[in-house]
Structure 1
Amino acid sequence: MNAREARAGAAAPETAHDAAPNPARQLRPTAIGAGAVLLWASLALFTTLTGRIPPFQLTAMAFAVGGVLGLPRALRGGGTLVRAVPRGAWVLGVGGLFGYHFFYFVALRNAPAVDAGLIAYLWPLLIVVFSALLPGERLRWWHAAGAVLGLGGTFLLVTGGQGVQLRGEYLPGYAAAAVCAMVWSAYSVANRRYPKVPTDMVAFFCLVTAVLAAVCHLLFEDTVRPDGGQWLAVLALGLGPVGGAFYLWDHGTKHGDIRLLGTLSYFAPLLSTALLIATGRADASWPVAAACVLITGGAMLASADALRAARRRG
């Protein structure tokens, strides 16, 4: 898409998205968006391999890699593409990418990691709920039920079946985690407002996020010089879960089944745990098995529309 098309598409009414979505046409972009979930599954493993690199420094480095990854395609039309993209898309893109990570790190600094992570991981459920606000979308009971099952599986996975005890002194951390969930779910759903903005723009969103993360690093953290293995881990993060995944998610949320993508997102912590188990960095347990059943069942329930569309196409 060239800059003129991007500008015209941004200014034109989104009449195509006012009608009910076509499940058959959504299959391919939904599959592309689900690729981001697969990449996010490697986040925990690659992060452990980065050692003691501070969070904002790591975010700046990984997003810089992710931005450079898509820069050649984004620059094909020169600077006209950047000027053609509406201001709202810039605010949404940078706000979503940077805002999520900023509030997540604030939450981890002010609350136990398990509690903060569980609250932050409300975003897939919120995506399913917020999708009802989109033109032409209808939230069916099986979509909500599938998302709730996925949340239950994630709860078992994160807590190890031990439950959580929310405490008043961690309220600022809990609030930041809740904002984190709201930011990412709102970004994912509101991204549907800009279907004509090319996914190539994610490169610039990543680079701006890297700059903002670098500023936070200089303000709040001490720099750690990575060694050879840590540089490779940072490169893997930028090519995968903290970079490349956002290109796939952008395309999926703009053109795919947003409700199904929200439910499928619960596979990320499950696959992440499975990967840690496979590499000897975590142990298998009954909560993992139970989480597998709940998340898989929830995904199958929420994907009823897509499965029917696939059968019709077959």
Structure 2
Amino acid sequence: MNMPAFPDSAHPISWPEGKQAAASFTFDVDAESCTIAHDPQCTRRMSLMTHQSYGPKVAVPRLLQILDRQDIRATFFVPGFTAESYPDTVRRIVDGGHEVAHHGYLHEPMQGIDAATEARYLDRGLEALAKAAGVEPVGYRAPWWELNWHSAALLADRGFLYDSSLLDGDAPYRFSVAPGDSRDLVEIPVDWALDDWEQYAFYPGVTGSGVIESPVKVLELWTLEAEAHHAAGSCFVLTNHPFISGRPSKAVALERLMERVRFMDGMWVTTLEQIAEHTRSSVTEIHSHARIEVPSFPDTGAVFTPAAVREGVSRLAQR
């Protein structure tokens, strides 16, 4: 079937020779951390804790087998607390040839926190990943995809290459970390339609509506998304949580999706690190993001600072 092409005209990108689009399978290994951050009293709920520990104990080994069978290298975003609690799981991910990236320390709520507090979260997560498996991550995904305006500069200070938390594109791009700052990061955008949380996540008193979708329906949804990204020459980024999509029938559907995606003609299936390296090397446009200030709503209205694009230098041009 020939799909109509709807490219992301705001973020033009060319892929490596012989490739027309990119795809990455990513996993947020939250384990117990996301429920504890939601409510520390959750630790008193034995059944809930086992629901979350299923991820590193059962699902990650299963997913690693699937990825090996499909010859796919994936990106695993690991909170520092998960790395401290399950260091053997993190080492298995690394030994499997996959990327391990940063996902906070305890999957902390990010909305409205100050820069100093966020810096402590980042540094504690970095220390945990280094101790567990000698990992020095180049990628970051904010818990709940909630990046703050000061986050990018904190990441640049620590040598990160890319972020994958924003939702304003279908293709990777470079963006300035702050007004007046010459540094930039690569952004690899995400999409709630490509997150298993919205399809499957449910636990009484914690999350979800109680409607757990059929993997058949989810496979159809994600296949259509992958086909559209392939036709558009953009970047398909799927976000899965092992304690959700590592369950048996969901894992079967996920492997079927992987097989479909990797056999799409010219689809580059790789880690976010590799996609970010290519973007930094080949893209020269550096974007800023529109900002809105509301000093005293509604009396004074709002002030809109539009997004902008400036020309930078690619790594290829620097060589």
Give the TM-score taking structure 2 as reference length. 0.28
Q: Which has the higher strand share?
A: 2
Which structure has more relative contact order (CA 8 Å, sep 6+)? It is 1
Q: Which has the higher helix share?
A: 1
